[in-house]
Structure 1
Amino acid sequence: MTPVTDGIRLAVGTLTTVPIPAPRKIDRRVAGVAMALGPLAALPLAAVAGLIVAGGVALGLPALAVAALALGAVALGSRGLHLDGLADTADGLGASYDRAKALDVMRRGDSGPTGVATLLFVLLVQTGALTGAISHGHGIAAAVLSVLCGRCVLSLCCARGVPSARPEGLGATVAGSVPILVAAAVFVLAAGCAALTPGLPWWRGVLAVGLGYAAAAVLLARCVQRIGGVTGDVLGGCVEVAVAAALLATA
């Protein structure tokens, strides 16, 4: 079995609830393939979000309800993994300037006030932005593009040179596993495909990808400075802020 096959299995099994056999081997090469192919693994989630928006609009449902249903389906289809990571990352960054204590807070898994507030604010931004996109007639494009953009930034967060905050865990497995040229290629492909998104001006698609990457980069830089690198939670947080930024651009 090739690293690509194992990488696809790792990406799909980690990022979605789609049933797939477990990879036979997980090493840094397989992890790099998985993070680079994150957008492809998320295609079913993007398709579901787009179909929910299309169905909701066809039925004449309120735009806010349609947006909430679409984003909720994506969260369900990813086991809430990224939302949990966002909350844990916020709790860790807000806990203490002591790196060890911050990592301990993130490891616990329960959500404190900082995490809950951050989760609420980001979800409000996502839902409000998608509601605006639906109201302006390009909700399907916004939903699909934002979901895929959120998974594209995984290659940025796992690019060579980005350290792991811990010696174990998902972050340690994937940190620095994506060659810089591959991460750059993912960005270029994402921007190019976004420019061709039906229903959106070319520049708005490119702007959505650019803002998504910028938001993820800011959070990533803060986590590297504050806790020394990435963890699985940090990756999830970067996905969610990228989705929010991309949706704002499309709204």
Structure 2
Amino acid sequence: MALALSWLTVLPVRTGAPAPAVAAAALRWAPLVGALLGAVAGAALWGLTALGVPAFVAGLLAVGLLAAATRGMHLDGLADTADGLGCYGPPERALAVMRDGGAGPFAVVALVVAVGAQAGSLAALVPGPTAVAAVALACAAGRAGFAWACRRGVAPARPGGLGAQVADSQPWWVAVAWWVALGAAGSAVLGWRAPVAVALGAGLVVLLSRHTARRFGGVTGDVLGAATEVATTAALVVLSTT
């Protein structure tokens, strides 16, 4: 859990260089870290709207808080993955584009859509404990996608980096178990939207993982960021639907 917090948040948790088994285990704690981050963002959304901040502005600020709390690395992963998928050429060319660090047109569009959809969805939630639960669920479900993207049989696309540390390390059922548990727990508070939101996010992660594994030759840390942002966005859209 300490390693998961160190990797996935700005909290000053010191862990040192992890052994492969510890790195794999840390990935299984990621949904709990997501729930914590989502609860904080949901509480911020509730507080801002209580102070009279317009709903969309409060939603945008909550998305910004999530980005700051994660060092922006998930959004960065989404942007790099979008650029990699948008380029022509062999996997080596796509990986080179992803390593470049610049933001191409695909990255810009992906970020605008993700941030805009998340902010708009947050703005549509009714402020209060239910909204906090919804944001926590969406963030947790998104991070459950890490385990699916790193399931056994998916190799690292390149040596080094987070992807190489955790690729091919997770039994396939870990992600499924998290998604089922989150959908069931969420339904007790949020009704039918919870399992639908989790299922939609999970389905998109499955498709994205399949496509990126073929396009890039495996998984990278950027793909993990893209997976969580896609799943979180989809879940928030469903949860905010009236």
Please report the TM-score for the alignment, with normalisation by the length of structure 1: 0.89
In structure 2, which of residues 56, 59, 77 is the aligned counterpart of residue 85 of structure 1? 77
Residues 64-121 of structure 1: per-residue CA shift (max 9 Å, x gap): 0111111111110000000000000011111113211100011122211211111111
Matched residues, number? 240
List per-residue Cα deviations over 1:181-217 (Å, max 9, x = no partner). 3333222222222222x3x21x211111111111222
C-alpha spacing 1:216/1:181, structure 2 compared with 1 (3 Å): closer
What's the Cα RMSD here? 1.8
Contact 2:201 2:234 in 1 (8 A): yes
After superposition, residues 93-112 of structure 1 pair within 5 angstroms as 93-112=85-104
Percent identity (aligned): 42
Q: Which runs of 5+ in 2 are unaligned?
A: none
Q: Distance in 2 between matches of 1:155 and 1:228?
A: 18
Deviation for aligned residue 1:151: 1.1
Q: Is the 8 A contact 1:16 1:42 kept in 2?
A: no
For residue 9 of structure 1, what is the aligned residue in structure 2? Answer: 2
Partner amino acid, structure 2, of 1:192: A
Residue 160 of structure 1 is matched in structure 2 by 152
Q: Which amino acid aligns with 1:21?
A: R
2-structure distance, mates of 1:122, 1:25? 32
Match of 2:197 in 1: 208
2:110 is the counterpart of 1:121: no
Report the counterpart of residue 5 of structure 1 in structure 2.
none
Instruction: Give the 5 Å matches for 1:185-204.
Output: 185-196=177-188, 198=189, 200-201=190-191, 203-204=192-193
Distance in 2, Cα, partners of 1:124 & 1:39: 23
Report the AA paired with residue 172 of structure 1. Answer: A
Partner residue of 1:131 out of 117, 120, 123: 123
Residues of 2 paired with 1:24 and 1:111: CA distance?
30
2:55 maps to: 63
SS at match of 1:71: helix
Unaligned runs of 5+ in 1: 1-7
| Matched letter for residue 17 of structure 1 | V
In structure 2, the residue matched to 1:220 is 209
